[in-house]
Amino acid sequence: MALPFECPKLGVSVNINDDGSFAARLDAAIQRSNGHSAPSGQVIEHERSEIAEPPTFPPLARRRF
């Protein structure tokens, strides 16, 4: 028997106002997306720093839960 969190369920709900046809909405969305470009931001220069070794942990067989 599987626990509830081992096999999650997916649920989706959508609310759409029926103001027109799907094709009209799709065309409007395409027009809106064509007008936008990628956001223009500043590039931040960064120098790589050395990272210390990550901590080691005991094997899982020895850990208490």
Q: What is the pLDDT of residues 9-43, one digit of tens each?
A: 888 888 777 777 888 888 888 888 887 666 667 88
pTM of full prediction above 0.85: no
Average pLDDT, stretch 41-65? 76
Fill in the DSSP letter of residue 9.
Answer: -
C-alpha–C-alpha distance, residues 47 and 50, integer Å: 10
pLDDT at 5 > cutoff 70:
yes
Per-residue pLDDT at 15: 78
